[in-house]
Structures are given as C-alpha cells and as structure tokens.
Structure 1
C-alpha cells in the first residue's frame, strides 16, 4: 500500500511537470509505510481481544455479574438440552485433537445474547469464545472487561477500506490457525477448543445473513490457512426481550440511540422485572471442509478464491443453511404463542377462554411441524396464558369495565408485540403464502364454487408472492412447485383447505367454513403485515416521480435515507386514514428489504458514494416512471400494475373496497412528495460538490 500511494504521488507530481528524485521517493515511501503501520496498530488495538492470564480475574468478575443479572432478570432460569451439549462436547474433543476451531453461529435477538452464550459456555466447561461485536458496544469502562472475556470490536461497515479489511482477515485467519493452543494458559479444566462467535441481526425472526466475517473464514480456509473448522448453529430464546421498545422505536424511524455506560446502567431498573426464562439450543455441528466438498460434488469443481460468482453462491448457500438450521432448533416460547394468538384474532380483544383454546391449537400445529414448544413442568395451558400476560403486562392489557362477562385481553402495543409473532412465522410461511394467494379470490365473496381456484392459477400467485418476499422469508429447500404441493397437503391434512386432484380445484374446506375461517385467517394474519409493507414500498415509489416542471423521461435521484423517511411518513398517514391495516407495515427493516427487492427486479436504481460518508441515492428506472394526466399522477403504467398485483393479496378493509378512492388518496400524497424532489436533487448536488472539494 505504501508503494501504491507513492506511485500515486509520483503521478500527481508528473501532471504538475515535476518529478520525485529517487532518494526522496524512498523517503516518501518509508513515511507512508510508518503512517500505515500506525493505522494498523490502531485497528489491531481496537479489535484484538486481551484474553490472557491477567484477564482471568476480570472474567471471574464478569461471570459473577452475569450470574446476578440473569438470576434476577430471568428468574425462572437458563435452560439447555443436555444431549445437544454432550454432542458439542464430543465434537470439541475431536476438534481439539486436530487443532481445529468451533465456529459458533447464533441468531442475535438481544444484547443479553453476549452474556448468555458466554455464561453457558463457561459453566459447562468450554473455553469462552471470541465474540464479534459492533464498535457501538465498545463502551468506556465495560470495554476492557468485555475484551478480556473475548469481545472483538469491529466496524459495522468498512466498505473499501483495504487496510482495515486486511488486518481483520489476518486476525480471523490466525484465530482459526492457532486454535486453542494459542491461548492454552487461559483454558479451564475440561475446556475443549477455541471458538468464534458471529451474529445475525434478528428483529423477531431470522433475516438474510450478513456474510462479511463468514466470507473471511471461507477464504482463509480456501487459502489453506487452517485444515478445517466445525460450524455450530445456536440460538437463545427468551420469554421477554428487554430491548423490544428500542427495537420498535428504531424500526418506526426514530434515531437509534448509541449505547453508553450510563445507558446500560440506566436500564438496571429492568432487573426488578421478572422476565421468565431463557432456553439455549445447539444444532448438530458439521465440518466446513465436508460441506464445501459436498458443494463441489453438487455444483462441480469450485474455485472460491478466483471466481467471484462461485464464491458468492457458496457463501449464500452456507449462510442460508445456517439460518435453516437455526430455525429448526429454535423453540417457541409460551410468550410468543400468546402474542401470536392476540395478533391473529379478529376484533378488539380476546377472552381468556379463547386465548387458552387458540394457544392449545397453535401448540398442536407447531408440534405437528416437528418443532419444539417449550413446556414448563406442572403448568397447564391456562397457567401458561396467565404467566405470559403477567410477563408482558406492558404489551398485553386487560379490559377493566365492570360489566364484562369474562376477562378480555388486547394488544396495547401491537407493533412491539409483533416481535413475538415473528418468532412463529418461519414455521408456517409456505402455508401462509398459499392462504394469502387464495385470498385473492375468497375476498370477492360469493358461494363455495365462487371461492375456489385452479391449482395452476394458485401456483402462479404463490410464485409471484414468494418471489416478492424472498429477502424477508426463509423457505425450505426445493422447487416452488414441490414446496407448494407439500404445504398444500399439510393444509388439507389439517382441514384448512381442500384439493380436488381430479379437477384441480383448491378452496376452503367445509370444516374451515363451519369454524368461521379461524385457522385460515390465522395463517393470513401471519403474512399480511409483510404484504402491506411491500405494497407500501411499491406505492411510495410514485414519490420518486420527476416534478411537474422537470423532464418526465429522466430519473430524479433522492437520498435513500430521506426516501425511507418519506415512505414511513406516507405509511403512517395511510394507516391512520384507514388505507393500511397494520402499523407494522412501516417497519423500516422490511421496507428496506422491499426496496432491495425492487432494485433486484429493475424497478428502481441506486447510486452509492463514499464521500463525505457512505451513502446512496435512489431513483425510478425510466421504464417505471408513472404517467401523468393534466399534471396529476394517474393509476396506470408498469409501476401501478405492480402495485395492483401486490395489492390483490392485501387484507380487505372498509376504506379499501373502492379502489378508485384508494388510488386517488395515495397518488395525491405521492404527488405532493414528488414535487419536493427538485429541492432534494439540488441538495444532493451541493453535497457531492462539497465532497469532491474535500
């Protein structure tokens, strides 16, 4: 890098008509090298852990603190499955003999994850793992304590910073190359091997994997830096997440608060709460070497280091394999069941007896999917319902009117409560998409023969909706047709739908009709908030229309952050005016995923910049710029057709039966926002101009 920078300086000097003398050139190169070495030292000091003999006391202090915190916060205990940990122990013993590393890959649900995972590893005799953590957690005073316990602080984004990437890659490679032997003085009795922890961000459900660190591990293996490592999917499930309020605020568009020591200590009031229990689960460990060997056999010879497309395919496959493993081992907590039931019932509330009945049904359906529902010995379903309501008394309210015939409960904060519903959706995503697809005909009403659909038509609708939602949803392996057949058969077996194989008709079963469509509606309620988000994101693209006085055939670029803020403001307006059914539709994370999907489909385009900071701006592809009539946006053209197609799957509401009225309200709001694009564009040009001067 010093050589490259010196060459660049030479080129600049040549353009000015001068030349660097050989002596001065070497001097310049050495000066640049010293600057780079200083930067390397600074990067390493920030991220490298300080796990050593002096750190033993700090670890004991931290473990004592965590013991107190967990026993107060999760008063009903931290639970593990002995058989899973015994299998991990055997894998670790084998890995230690062969100087190999355990790569722990848990889903990230709470900051408590860091404490819980380390605490369980320590208590069960494993070496405390290195934990990849964002720099925002590098909190004064606590940072030294956490670094001595394995914290590796990294930037959330490093873009094209080659030096930072090189240092981090070398550190990760050394961790896997040295293994336990590097830190043998720190190993407790029965400690088995060295571990690395990588987190996937998770606002209630698993999302598309972030592959930055995993990419470094795979590349390091491909370069022969280490012989093998063992991938270990993990998850920690909670009756209650202490950060759901801050998650909800952030996803609603409020500024994210930077963690500080004062903030952490300020949350100590939660230690007075009783948040139930924690359940830690571990998937079956498997060899990275063997997995890549299988990929070679499946896809043909792979050149991961030199073929970028092959590397991308392998990384995505591994990332989604891990997410699938995490979904498979994640138990459903009783609190998640109650939250899901409350959010998937029609009406303003539910009686206690109805909550109990639906919770029993949902428990039965989840177990029919071969998934685990956490059982608490000695507690009946009604006890579990009462327990969940007590734990979530700030999210689930009880009607206090004196003349009510039975206790009636409702969701106080449905947006925050949706965090718990999202913990269930992965189990039923294919079935929910089928039900939402069938809803396109069911919502039109009529008799039984009017509310059925040919399987071929249903498959077309399922294919479209599955493709739209592919970033947000994790599907089971297999073709869309095979998955649809399997999910449809499950719905038939559970008396939700019928399938006339001979004539190809699919519709509601008579049992489901007789029950008031409650199970069918439950599945639709799971997926509808996400459909609403994608519809909102689609209609918000109308706000990217060039202003009236601007050329209509040229895209107008708008700052991406501003565009997302506008979209959320549009969504909140439509929600409070009755044109959206769910406030969850303005979820910032889901909206961002929707825009990424539309970018993949060529509906919108993006430009990215690195100065004065990393940012981007977005615009409509010219093929999707909406049409105008007498200066007003009209519901025609390719973009409106896409919005209409997605809108078919939305939940029907009293304000949405008149499509013309909806389109006029939405397009009027979009028109007003689009007229601000000239000023936005001017501001962006000024920003770029100032950045180029810098």
Structure 2
C-alpha cells in the first residue's frame, strides 16, 4: 500500500472513531458512517437564519460566528493545497511573469516589432537604434504583461475576506432560495476522498459545472467553503470586474479574462501560463464547458478554449494528473429568466446583474424554492486519455488534429456526465407538462396526473427527480405555481368547475421545459419523423412508415439538430433501434409484422397524449431551423442573371430573420414564438454554413464583423422578378416543413409559400447595399431594422 493510500486509510479510521453526526463538515468525512445514511439528501443551510427580523438573536449570533471564524466558518483545515496567506497572489504573479514562456514571447514580440520598424525606416543591421528600440519595446511589453497579470490573477490572500464573502453568499442563498441548498452526501464524501488523494499528490481538482445563472459560481464556491474543500480558481468574464464587486470576487477565486483574445499572443501566453501554474501547483480550478450561461435551459455545445489550455498543459508535462468533477446545478427558479427571454428575442444584452442581485432588496424578499446540486463521480484525466488511446488506437498528442478529436470527446463526455447527474426540478416537471398539452390550459387534477406520469418516466429512464420528501404531488404543483406566478396563470371562480392553469409567458416557461429535453431527445426525433405521415391523416395503414424510410428521416433530423442536441453515444442506427424499442415497450408506437412502424392502438385510444408530449418537446427547435431556412430567401439577388452573391451584414441578417419570425408567428404561420430565439437560429445558420448552403466571410479589425450570402447552388429562383417556391433551397424548406406542427391557418408549406416569400422579398430589398465597402451604411440599416422590430 502506497503512502497516499495509507494516509487516506488513517483518516478514514479516525473519522469512523469520531462518531460525529456532523462529520460531513469535517474534511475527514470519507466513508459512510454506521450512524448515518449518506445516500440521503441534505439541506446544508437548513439551520441558517434568513432574516434579522425573523430571529434577531440567531442572526446576530451567526454574524459573530463568521467574524470569529468558529467551526467550519473558520475554514482553516480545508482539503487542498494551502492558499489564503499574505503574499499568495504576489507569489503567483511573479511565477507567471518570470516564467520562460512569458519571457520568450515578450522577446519574440519585441524583436518582431523592431524588425518591422527597422524595415520601414530602412535601418541597417548594425544600426545601434535597432537594439535601443528593441529594449524600449521590451520594457513596454513588460508593463503590458504586468497589467494583464494584475487584472487576471486571483487575490486569495486573506481568510478573513473569504469568510466575509461566504457570509454574504450565505445570506443571498438562504433568503432567495428559502427551501434550501440540497446535496447528496455520498457524492460529497466521495469528492472529499478524491480531494485528499489529490492533496497528497499535489494534484488539482477541476470542477466543471453546468452554467444556468450568475448564482452558479457562488453556489459552488459556497459549498466548497461550507464542506471544507479548497475553493477553486474560477474563470470569469472581465465584464464582472466591476467596482467593489470585482475586488471581492477576485479575493474569492475569480480569474477575470477577456471574452475575445483575437491574435493577442502576449495575452494568450500569459493566460495559458497562469492556468498551467495553477495546475502545476495542485490548486483547484473551475470553468464552464458551455462557455456562457444557457439562455435556453438545456446544455449548450461545448466551448473548449479553457479546456484546451488544460489539455495542452497536461500534454506538455506541466502536471502529472488532475481529477475531473462534473457538477449539475438545478434551481426551482433562476434570477435571469425574464432577461434571457428578451435577449433571445433580440433586445440588446443588459449589463451584468450580479451586483444588482446582491444589492436589490426586492429580489432578496422573494422566495424561489430550492437549489439542488449534484456531483458526478470524479475521474482522472490521465486515465481517461489512456482509455481513449486504448479505444481509438495510437494517438500523437502533439498532432493538432488528433488532439482536437480528444478535446472534443472530453467536452461531450463532461456534458453527458452533467446530463446524467442533473436533477429535474418541480419547475421543470410542471413547466414541461403545461407546454406539452394541447389546448388553452389544464385542470389541476390533470396537471397532477401528468406530473406523476412524467416523474415516473424520468426515473424509469435513469434520470433523477428532485426529492418531494413528505409532500404530495398536488402540494408540489401548488408550490411551483406560486413560485412561478409570473409565468403560470390560474383561472378559478364560481363559474369554473376546477382550477385551470395556463401559460402566461410560454417563452420564459420553455426554459424549464428544456431542462428535460436531454432525457427524451431521441424519442422526440423519432416521433417527429413519424409525424410526417401521421399529420396527413387517413386510416391507420396510411399513417405508418417503413423502417428504412423512418431511419432516413431520423438521420436527416438528427444531423440537422446536432448543434442543439446532445445525443447518446452509439450512432444514429443503434440509437434508433434502441429508441424504437423503448417507444414500443411503452406502447407509444408499434412495429408491425411487415416492418412498418406506426402509432399503437393504445396511444390512439388515449388521444396521442404521450406521442404528442414527445413531439411538443422537439417542435420548437424544428420551427427555428425551418425559419432559418426561410430567411435565406432574404439573401436572394434582385435578378436571376446576377453573377455574384449579395453579401449582407451578419447582424442585419440576424435581425431580419427575427423580424420575419415574429411576423410569421403573429400571422399564424409559425407555431412558437420561442422559435425566433437568436441562439437556436445562430446554430441553424452554422449548420447551413457547414453544409455550404450559407456563405460567410469575416473581416478582422479592432471590431471584427462578418457578412453572409447564399451559395450559388441554393440561390432562390425568380419568375418575372418574383421569388417562387422552387429550387434546392425550397426543397430544404419543404423537407424540414414535413416535421413541423400542423398550424391552425395552414397544413403545409404550399399554403404559406406566397406569404412567406413575399415577406422575405420585402426584407431583402436593401440587399443592393454594398456592405463590404460601406460598413457604416450597413450598421445604420441594422439600427433601423432593430428599431422597427416592435412595429412589425
């Protein structure tokens, strides 16, 4: 047995002898104690006083305990490499600035810039001014480098400051989420066990949480503080570096970085060196694989810039190993739901609101339910890479292409892990049911029945549902409706037979529905593919599909939506067979003797409620991709004889698309307003760019910008100067349209083609503007279009 294992075993033995019921707060809580069932959940803030007026004595006592650093609040025996000592940040800054990589890049940049200047001024090679200029530039770069380091490096120098931060966060969380902050104790015991091993080997623990809210990093850091693990260094956008708040966040682990690095080699090198230094020193680290907060409720595709730095540092032997820890955070309600909806509909992004949350007393008076945090099983990065090499065959990790494959696999592995441990909150259950039923509203008894059904299905699929404890489903539903009274309306009175609930703000409520979609994405795609024949009506034999035809439709949809959905591993055909079997086992569909697939008799007899539920999950995304395809008609040249594509500013094009979508929604040709959200539309445009349907060219500069155009093969056709529904682009629109929800005012694309193409032509009238040469004019058009969106 090695030294590390002996140390851990010794700590385990000491813990088991302690017999403390509160040993989870002790860093030595490593095994399940006989007196305690650590598989159960725990509200870590259950005994924390919320407001001074509720219990002044308890509140003031709590203030005193934080000030004195009593018990776990002292944060003295945390697991991990020691931080929080005077001079910590000064030491780290010196290590980064004095590193070989940073010194070399400054030398290279100074030499390169001097050579450019010498060529411009025709200086000879032996001219003394060259060396003088190089030294001057070198000193300027040192000043710039020092400023970058000062901005980025966390100032984890003071235990007292961290305790003050923990006190503030504690009060925000217990007031805002009045039902508490819930964890599963066994997960944290396992995390502590791994953290102790990491401490012994001087290795980092890398936390990779889901990113739904500004509150995310507060919750994670607070839990590390509360449960005695070294708080992580956290990558954060420099837009959060605001007066007072920015300083407090830096002293609690925040690393402020730019959103865009561009070609700034010095900045890139410094950030890479800083993160590598953190990992080499065995300090904990946290970043969000999604890159930014998800405005849609579901996980976003991985943004792997920071993860690439970690992988590069490992490949370059900057550290021997680290431990990856996926984390899922679930909220009954998040602070930003309303602002997310307005952002997605095209309103300019508001200034970051974390400071507003901390100082906004009206927000802190609200009661928004609970937070559930789940921690995935930690795993070694080195072991994972070894497994990948064993599975894929020999890999040269110095080869950029092979390393990019590994990087992408790691990103999707983390997202899959987060989805696997994600807790479905009551808000997601209720929101999903309300948005996946036909009609204007749902009665309370029916809502309770469907929530019960959804809970059972999720658990049967291996998903986790938030604990109801001793509350009935009816009580859970009632509490959720109260929490979301701004999103869910209730009709009741003498002339109403039973309370009936309806969506007030379906767009915002869809955020909570999307938290469930990862559990049903394959089933939803199969049902949407089958819908292409079911929507046509007729007898049962006419509403069936051959397996080969169904697989073709599923492959098309899966490929189309791959930037928005995270699929299970195994490929389309294997996933389809497994999914069809699940749908058949649950009596949603049936596989006939002749190999055809259609709705089961049981599903028909119950009004297609389960089949419709699955279609409703995916339809809004299909609508977005249909709208994105329709919007490409706005890029049509004014003449069929045009030889060159018409280039349009990307922002102008995006605004036009949203204007078109809103118009079609209000005219009844688009079923979902959420289909107009710019995040899904952006993914759709990226897919069309990947398929060479949409062309894009980027213009570098202090403020980079881009233009889009339609490819020659997909250029829309005209007849007598009028756009007509014909050609490759219209074929794409029609194929996507086969899976769309049938609307009240239309049955297929042919019915809407005249109206849609007329609107597209109207929006494309300004395409004659040569945006490449007159960028200023294009910007004016964007602004004008934005101001007119409300009118449309």
- TM class by shorter-chain length? over 0.9
CA drift of 1:551 comes to: 5.4
The answer to whether residue 680 in structure 2 is matched with residue 577 in structure 1 is no
Which residue of structure 2 lines up, in the alignment, with residue 664 of structure 1? 754
Residue number in structure 1 paired with 2:307 = 214
Q: Which residue does 2:683 correspond to in 1? A: 593
Aligned-partner Cα distance in 2 for 1:173–1:555: 46
Aligned equivalent of 2:153: 48
Matched, 1:344 2:436: yes
Deviates more, 1:392-401 or 1:466-475: 392-401
Residues 1:245 and 2:338 are matched in the alignment: yes
Distance 2:526 2:562 in 1: 15
TM (normalized to structure 1)? 0.94
Shift of 1:195: 3.4
Question: Partner of 1:651 in structure 2?
Answer: 741
**Alpha-carbon distance in 2 for matches of 1:25, 1:16:** 10
User: Partner residue of 1:623?
Assistant: 713
- Unmatched 5+ stretches in structure 2: 1-105, 780-792
Distance verdict in 2 for CA 1:62–1:14, change over 3 Å:
closer
2:162 is the alignment partner of 1:25: no
Instruction: Say which is worse superposed, 418-427 or 669-678, in terms of deviation.
Output: 669-678
| Residues 7-16 or 71-80, more deviating | 7-16
Question: Could you say if the C-alpha distance between residues 7 and 649 of structure 1 is closer, same or farther in structure 2, counting changes exceeding 3 Å?
Answer: same
- 1:39 maps onto 2:144 in alignment: yes
CA distance in 2, matches of 1:572, 1:652: 18
- Aligned partner of 1:301 in structure 2 is 394
Q: What is aligned with 1:538?
A: 629
Q: Distance in 1 between matches of 2:354 and 2:567?
A: 40
Alpha-carbon deviation of 1:231?
Answer: 0.5
C-alpha spacing 1:544/1:2, structure 2 compared with 1 (3 Å): farther
* Match among 168, 171, 175 for residue 278 of structure 2: 175
1:671–1:636 Cα change, 3 Å: same
Residues 455, 465 of structure 2: 8 Å contact kept: yes
Task: Tell me what 2:723 maps to.
Answer: 633
Q: CA deviation at 1:675?
A: 1.6
The residue aligned with 2:594 is 503
Q: Deviations over 1:74-103 (max 9, x none)?
A: 111101011111111111111111111001
Do structure 1's residue 331 and structure 2's residue 423 form an aligned pair?
A: yes
What is the TM-score normalised by the length of structure 2? 0.82
| Distance verdict in 2 for CA 1:4–1:112, change over 3 Å | closer
CA distance, structure 1, for counterparts of residue 264 and residue 778 of structure 2: 20
Deviation for aligned residue 1:678 = 1.6
Structure 2 residue 625 is matched with structure 1 residue 522: no
User: 1:383: how far off?
Assistant: 0.6
Q: Offset of 1:313 from its aligned partner?
A: 0.9
Indicate conservation of the 8 Å contact 1:129/1:197, yes or no. Answer: no
Match of 1:393 among 461, 485, 492: 485
Report how far residue 606 of structure 1 moved: 1.2
Change in Cα spacing, 1:162 to 1:65, as seen in structure 2 (3 Å) is same
In the comparison of the two structures, how many residue pairs are matched?
671
Give, in angstroms, the shift of residue 304 of structure 1: 2.5
Instruction: Describe the shift of the 1:11–1:152 C-alpha distance in structure 2 as closer, same or farther (beyond 3 A).
Output: closer
Q: Which residue of 2 aligns with 1:291?
A: 384
Residue 89 of structure 2: aligned partner: none
Q: Shift in Å at residue 599 of structure 1?
A: 0.8
State the distance in 2 between where 1:462 and 1:268 align.
50
Matching of residues 57-72 of structure 1 within 5 Å: 57-72=160-175
**Structure 1 CA distance for aligned equivalents of residues 776 and 484 of structure 2:** 49
Structure 2: distance between partners of 1:356 and 1:340:
12
Q: CA deviation at 1:655?
A: 1.9
Runs of at least 5 residues in structure 1 that lack an aligned partner in the other structure: 181-193, 690-694
Please name the residue that 1:473 is paired with.
Answer: 565
Verify: 1:76 aligned to 2:179, yes or no. Answer: yes
Distance in 1 between residues matched to 2:605 and 2:216, nearest whole Å: 45
Matched-pair contact (CA < 8 Å) for 2:489–2:503: yes
Q: Is the 8 A contact 1:239 1:333 kept in 2?
A: yes
SS across alignment from 1:198: coil
Contact in 2 for aligned 1:139/1:260 (Cα 8 Å): no
Q: Which residue of 2 aligns with 1:185?
A: none
Q: Report how far residue 676 of structure 1 moved.
A: 0.8
Helix, strand or coil at the partner of 2:249:
helix
SS at structure 2 position matched to 1:409: strand
For residues 286-329 of structure 1, the C-alpha deviation after alignment (integer angstroms, 9 at most, x for no partner) is 11101111121222222223x22112111110000000000000
> Aligned residue for 1:142?
245
Deviation of 1:133 (Å): 0.7
Q: Output the CA distance in 2 between the equivalents of 1:432 and 1:311.
A: 33
1:377 aligns with 2:469: yes
Q: 1:262 to 1:227 in 2, by over 3 A?
A: closer
Distance (whole Å) between structure 1 residues aligned to residue 469 and residue 109 of structure 2: 66
CA contact (8 A) 1:3 1:29 kept: no
1:359 aligns with 2:451: yes
| Pair 1:178–1:262, CA change in 2 (3 A) | closer
Report the counterpart of residue 557 of structure 1 in structure 2.
647
Q: Secondary structure at the match of 1:681?
A: coil
Q: Is 1:99 matched with 2:191?
A: no
How many Å apart are 1:278 and its aligned residue?
Answer: 0.5
CA distance in 2, matches of 1:394, 1:513: 35
Q: How has the CA–CA distance of structure 1 residues 671 and 687 changed in structure 2, closer, same or farther, with 3 Å as cutoff? A: closer
The answer on whether the counterparts of 1:559 and 1:684 sit within 8 Å (CA) in structure 2 is no
Distance 2:265 2:572 in 1: 40
CA RMSD of aligned residues (A): 1.8
Following superposition, the deviation at residue 197 of structure 1 comes to: 3.6
Report if the CA contact (8 A) 1:127-1:195 is conserved.
Answer: no
CA contact (8 A) 1:349 1:411 kept: yes
Contact 2:649 2:778 in 1 (8 A): no
Q: Secondary structure at the match of 1:506?
A: strand
